């Protein structure tokens, strides 16, 4: 009898949760449907009065995210969207965990063409949670009903409204419903398409090449079996990669070496060697914690792609609410770490040898995702290996969110008012000039610690590093708040050639090194 009663209570509790969740989900889908109907007017009519609520919350796995130095300051990467204030009928509400230094806001606003700083500031509302804790920004906002009310009150009457987020989870969905505004992003119900396991399935559906491997794994035994099977199927395989489904920037990945493998008792050999041979990409992650995280989130095992000439390009696409697919950009990623899997930065556009090809592949994959209802920005990562005088590609993963190449490209586009041509693989500015950039979120040195935002601007001005609107070349800084505490800064170095962009990057590092050495 007691067992029966317990089952009844559990059933009632589950039904209550479903009803509550369904109500929120229904409201969210209604908001998204209305957004689809309003989309052409919001984005094609420059005279429409609109408010964009920017919530740059990195709503990702906190245990993995905390390995990123100054993670909560990464909310400043979307400050490039302040460039939208060049449209005189656009209002922006920007949310952060901690207040943004006015010097940083002024740095962005001074670049606005045809708009006075005063006019732009009147249409910018910056709100903060005053909370540096490790939970995501969206969760912090949800815990503050008065802040949500301030957001609502900051929306001018009659304005069309939507939310722009770094990524969209159930927290952003709840926030959208609380505010009563849609999100230009993927429905959280479809986030599975951005996992490592589902990415592999989508690639197969599209007929796109991918590394040999296994998905939908959940346990340590699953990993052992997959590694052993992979080695038996590819006898010359030297390494394999183990990836947690929701890792990012290489965090959540590990590499396993088959050197000296005992092929006669391979499964037993892998099982005994796994704890000692596994090499974590993230620092300070124990084997126990990695397996625990893998058990919770699941993941994949796939071959480690070898090659003397190997590059890691990506393509960024956008699916809008009316079903149009656009290839926004291609990049060659700059990676580091012992296994070469940590994202450090990128060059734009990708190598001309394959830029057009990965644009086509990205569009094919995006068209497939559109069939499932995905909207918003997304990125697809690849590995290219030069074999027998040609480049061979492997699709690696789909990211249903803004990423490390989103804000640099947005900044370039806002500053030069140009467009990437997917048919040629070249970006051309409004002046009909090609533009290139080298970018990084990780220009870092301990000697940079102690530099404040005003110090950085002084150094940049005195050394001719600021972006020049006339030549449309120069350096844009981001993650400025990480500089003083972590000695880390983000840069987008724009030039009229790849060499000029690279020159600005090296000049920026040389100037910072010199200036900081002078002050020692």
What are the 10-residue block averages of pLDDT along the chain, 520 residues in total?
Answer: 30 33 86 93 89 93 71 92 95 97 95 89 97 94 98 96 96 97 96 96 98 97 97 95 82 91 94 94 84 94 94 96 96 74 85 98 98 97 95 97 94 96 97 97 93 96 93 96 95 97 96 83
Name which of 257, 247, 253, 305 is nearest 277 in CA terms: 257
Interatomic CA distance for residues 441 and 434, integer angstroms: 24
CA distance readout (Å), 519 to 92, 447, 450, 455: 39, 9, 11, 12
What is the reported pLDDT for 495? 97
Query: Sign of dihedral through CA atoms 508, 510, 513, 518?
Result: negative
Global pTM reads: 0.90
Q: How many helices (H) and strands (E) does the chain have?
A: 16, 20
Q: Angle 355-371/196-205 helices, nearest 10 degrees?
A: 100
Interatomic CA distance for residues 32 and 26, integer angstroms: 10
CA 279 distance to own-chain centroid: 24
Q: Is 131 exposed, middle or buried (0-12, 13-18, 19+ CB in 10 A)?
A: middle
Interatomic CA distance for residues 95 and 75, integer angstroms: 9
Angle at 29 between CA 199 and CA 75, to 5 degrees: 65
Let me know: does 164 contact 57? Beta carbons within 8 Å: no
The neighbour count for residue 108, using CB atoms within 10 Å, is 24
Name which of 55, 350, 329 is nearest 184 in CA terms: 55
What is the reported pLDDT for 308? 87
Phi-psi region of 260 (alpha: psi -120 to 50; beta: other; left: phi over 0): left
What is the reported pLDDT for 339? 53
Phi-psi region of 94 (alpha: psi -120 to 50; beta: other; left: phi over 0): beta
The neighbour count for residue 77, using CB atoms within 10 Å, is 23
For residues 234, 236, 238, 239, the Cα torsion angle rounded to the nearest 10 degrees is -10
DSSP H helices, 145-260, are 145-153, 170-179, 196-205, 220-233
What is the reported pLDDT for 337? 59
| Residue appearing with tokens 């304005």 | 159
Name which of 516, 276, 289, 311 is nearest 394 in CA terms: 311
Q: Can you give the C-alpha Rg of the chain in angstroms?
A: 24
The neighbour count for residue 38, using CB atoms within 10 Å, is 17
What is the reported pLDDT for 196? 97
3-state class of 253 per DSSP? strand
For residues 44, 377, 395, 426, the Cα torsion angle rounded to the nearest 10 degrees is 40
β strands within 367-510, DSSP E: 376-387, 390-399, 419-421, 426-428, 436-444, 474-478, 488-495
The neighbour count for residue 143, using CB atoms within 10 Å, is 12
CA distance readout (Å), 77 to 58, 339, 379, 402, 518: 11, 26, 17, 10, 29
Let me know: does 215 contact 200? Beta carbons within 8 Å: yes
CA distance readout (Å), 472 to 413, 459, 496: 11, 20, 8
Structure tokens at 400: 């249903």
């Amino acid at each position: 009898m007691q067992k029966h009663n317990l089952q009844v209570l559990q059933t009632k509790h589950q039904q209550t949760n479903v009803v509550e969740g369904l109500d929120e989900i229904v409201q969210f889908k209604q908001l998204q449907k209305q957004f689809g109907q309003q989309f052409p007017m919001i984005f094609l009519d420059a005279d429409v009065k609109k408010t964009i609520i920017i919530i740059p919350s990195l709503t990702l796995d906190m245990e993995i995210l905390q390995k990123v130095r100054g993670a909560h300051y990464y909310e400043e990467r979307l400050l490039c969207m302040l460039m939208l204030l060049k449209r005189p009928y656009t209002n922006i509400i920007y949310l952060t965990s901690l207040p943004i230094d006015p010097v940083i806001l002024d740095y962005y606003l001074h670049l606005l063409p045809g708009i006075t700083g005063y006019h732009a500031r009147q249409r910018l509302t910056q709100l903060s949670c005053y909370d540096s804790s490790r939970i995501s920004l969206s969760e912090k906002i949800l815990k503050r009903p008065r802040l949500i009310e301030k957001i609502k009150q900051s929306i001018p009457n009659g304005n069309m409204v939507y939310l722009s987020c770094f990524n969209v989870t159930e927290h952003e969905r709840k926030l959208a419903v609380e505010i009563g505004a849609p999100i230009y992003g993927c429905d959280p119900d479809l986030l599975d398409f951005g996992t490592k396991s589902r990415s592999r399935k989508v690639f197969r559906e599209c007929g796109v090449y991918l590394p040999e491997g296994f998905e939908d794994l959940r346990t340590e035994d699953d990993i052992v079996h997959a590694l052993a099977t992979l080695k038996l199927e590819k006898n010359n395989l030297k390494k394999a990669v183990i990836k947690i489904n929701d890792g990012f920037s290489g965090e959540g990945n590990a590499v396993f070496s088959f050197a000296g493998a005992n092929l006669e008792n391979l499964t037993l050999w892998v099982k005994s060697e796994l704890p000692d041979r596994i090499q974590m990409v993230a620092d300070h992650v124990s084997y126990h914690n990695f397996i625990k995280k893998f058990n919770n989130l699941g993941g994949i095992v796939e071959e480690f792609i070898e090659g003397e000439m190997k590059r890691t390009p990506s393509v960024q696409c956008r699916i809008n609410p009316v079903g149009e697919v656009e290839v926004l950009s291609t990049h060659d990623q700059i990676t580091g770490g012992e296994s070469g899997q940590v994202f450090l930065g990128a060059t734009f556009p990708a190598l001309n040898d394959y830029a057009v090809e990965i644009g086509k592949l990205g569009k094919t994959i995006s068209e497939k995702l559109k069939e499932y209802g995905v909207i918003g920005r997304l990125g697809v990562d690849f590995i290219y290996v030069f074999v027998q005088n040609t480049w061979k590609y492997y699709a690696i993963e789909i990211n249903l969110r803004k990423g490390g190449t989103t804000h640099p490209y947005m900044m370039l586009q806002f500053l030069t008012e140009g467009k990437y041509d997917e048919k040629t693989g070249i970006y051309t500015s409004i002046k009909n000039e090609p533009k290139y950039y080298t970018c990084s979120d990780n220009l870092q040195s301990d000697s940079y610690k102690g530099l404040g935002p005003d110090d950085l601007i002084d150094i940049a001005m005195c050394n001719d590093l600021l972006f020049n609107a006339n030549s449309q070349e120069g350096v844009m800084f981001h993650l400025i708040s990480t500089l003083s505490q972590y000695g880390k800064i983000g840069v987008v170095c724009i030039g009229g050639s790849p060499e000029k962009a690279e020159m600005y990057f090296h000049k920026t590092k040389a100037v910072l090194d010199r200036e900081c050495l002078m002050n020692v």
